[in-house]
Amino acid sequence: MNIETIAVHAGERPDRNAGSVIDPIYLSTTFERDADGDYPHGYMYSRNGNPNRDALEECLSALEGGAAAVAFASGMAAIAGIFGMLSPGDHVIAPIDSYYLTGVLLRDMGSWGIEATFVDMTRPADVEAAIRPGTRLVWVETPTNPLLRIVDIAGVAAIAHAAGAICACDNTFATPILQRPLELGADLVMHATTKYLGGHSDVVGGIVVARERGDMFDAIRRTQIRGGAVPSPFDCWLALRGIRTLPYRMRGHSENAAAVADFLTRHADVERVHYPGLRDHPGHEIAARQMKMFGGMVSFQTTGGAARAVEVAARTTLFTRATSLGGVHSLIEHRASIEGPGSSTPNNLLRLSIGLEHPDDLIADLGRALG
Ligand SMILES: *Cc1c(COP(=O)(O)O)cnc(C)c1O
């Protein structure tokens, strides 16, 4: 079946008793046993398993082409769920520009005997050079935040596998509609469902999809249940409700972002535009190969330095000044001031999460703000 159909139907569990079209929300924390002690419906206690969580896990697993998925209470809990399968002595390779807290968590894990090396993953030779005998995990993220740099997933996965390591990919910015890392060789895919999957800026969540149901999947499932950072039934229901329209939203986000990026490249007060759909973007060729469309995130650098960039963000009316991404509302953010003193982000850079308003209205708002 095609991805639009999978997005609408995968995992659905309508209530047969009521003839409902949409899944009910199962708030019950506990489930009845048979007289002989069995659990006839497969559920015992909601931290261990719940119909709404199963529905979300099944749907995302089908969309990514995986064997099974494990849902968490946030994207960071999903990342911690993957890192939880590491042992003292293990070595991790991660991108220098990974999601900020991913890097922080990896550095924190030094005190548990897990070491990380951070490399520029747009250069596969740097990944190869960082491999050590204990390298267990190579973490990929693409497009990256906030410069929208592109990593060759197939290339990095091959380097990881040659070294006996596994490759995990944070697919939050692309979603399975634009890019399917498992098909490109990754072993695990992770998402903050908080972003495009939920899609309406109203639910925090995370999920890991595994290519196979093996020891690795079992370890992540154990962390979900024992660590207990599980999403509520309503969180799962909301995330899945968002996913039902994901293919069409990603098309809209990508088309709008391409139009905004094109406008910005032609504006005299814009120094540089970062969007993988632009032909002169350094990662354009790889992006065109591994992505179906180029996504809804655009960053740009204004003339006039940080003060000008902050001023432009202050003057938009349709774009809301806020962090996060992937919702129907367009957002604008001055990244360097969010990231703080250690930030390597150019201080005249604004990051846009392009929503589903009409692109002409978004362009008019940016045009007015740029003056
Ligand atoms: C938001 C985000 C995360 C973390 O997800 P939370 O739900 O905020 O914990 C991880 N990776 C990427 C790329 C993100 O954008």
Residue 206 near residue 190 (C-beta atoms within 8 A): yes
Residue 7 near residue 243 (C-beta atoms within 8 A): yes
Catalytic residue among 23, 170, 187, 235: 170
% the chain with pLDDT above 90 = 97
Instruction: Give the pairing of strands 115-119 and 331-334.
Output: unpaired
Which CATH number does the domain 3-243 belong to among 3.40.50.2300, 3.30.420.40, 3.20.20.140, 3.40.640.10?
3.40.640.10
Q: Residue 344's pLDDT band (boundaries 50, 70, 90)?
A: confident
* pLDDT tens-place string over residues 157-200: 999 999 999 999 999 999 999 999 999 999 999 999 999 999 99
For residue 204 and ligand 1, the question of a CB distance below 6 A is answered with yes
The dihedral built from the CA positions of residue 284, 289, 290 and 295, taken in this order, carries a sign that is: positive
Residue 4 pLDDT > 90, yes or no? yes
Catalytic residue among 47, 222, 272, 292: 47
pTM: 0.97
For residue 71 and ligand 1, the question of a CB distance below 6 A is answered with no
Token code pair at residue 311: 């001023």
Domain range summary for the chain, segments of one domain joined by +: 3-243, 246-370
Mean pLDDT (the chain, rounded): 97
Residue 77 near residue 230 (C-beta atoms within 8 A): no
Instruction: Compute the chain's Rg from CA coordinates.
Output: 21
Q: What angle do CA 70, 86, 126 make, to 5 degrees?
A: 105
What is the reported pLDDT for 339?
83
**Closest atom of ligand 1 to CA, residue 76:** 9
Instruction: Give the pairing of strands 135-141 and 91-95.
Output: parallel
CATH code of 246-370, in short, is 3.90.1150.10
* pLDDT tens-place string over residues 120-141: 999 999 999 999 999 999 999 9
What is the reported pLDDT for 116?
98
